[in-house]
Amino acid sequence: MTNIPGKVWIILGLLAVVAGVALVTIKHFALSPKNVSIPNIVSRIENEGYIVGNCYMLSKFTNQYFSAHPTLNKAPLYELVGPGKYIDVIAPVAGERYPSEVTRDGDITVVLRDGASFVFNPNTGKKTYLPAAQ
């Protein structure tokens, strides 16, 4: 029981490291050339889950489309989305724009309201943000 204070200090130290990493990350984004504000970062993180969900749904039904059309390598969005199609609707949550076509085994690039791109690889789950072109 005499080690409890030492364990508490270890836990507090780990929490400080995590908090430090979070602050460095926020400062990195906040001080970037685009001067992204902290509310924009929070909003982006909140919306990311919805956007990823839309990308997964788009990927899943694109794979079904390719199963039905094995000779094609591109699926136009108008063939996938709409009444009576694979997906009834893809609802943008933050003013994002989805690609007009999806390629077989390719990344899905979503253009965000601020012009930045969110690139999602449905095979690996890798998410990448690309700044808006200047």
pLDDT over 70 (residue 62): yes
Under 8 Å between Cβ of 117 and 129: yes
Residue 17 pLDDT exceeds 50 = no
Integer Cα distance of 87 and 50 in angstroms: 16
Domain boundaries, the chain: 47-130
Closest CA to 113 of 95, 133, 88, 89: 95
List for the chain the helix, strand, coil content (%; round to 5). Answer: 45, 15, 40
Q: What are the residues whose beta carbons fall under 8 Å from the beta carbon of 12, sequence distance 6 or more?
A: none
Beta-carbon contacts of residue 73 (< 8 Å; ≥ 6 apart) = 103, 104
Among all chains, which residue has been given the structure tokens 């969900």?
53
Question: How confident is the model at residue 47, as a pLDDT?
Answer: 79
Res. 15: pLDDT tops 70: no
pTM: 0.64
H/E stretch holding 128 reads: strand 127-130
Average pLDDT over residues 26-55: 60
73-90 pLDDT, tens digit per residue, is 999 999 999 999 999 999
Is the pLDDT reported for residue 5 higher than 80? no
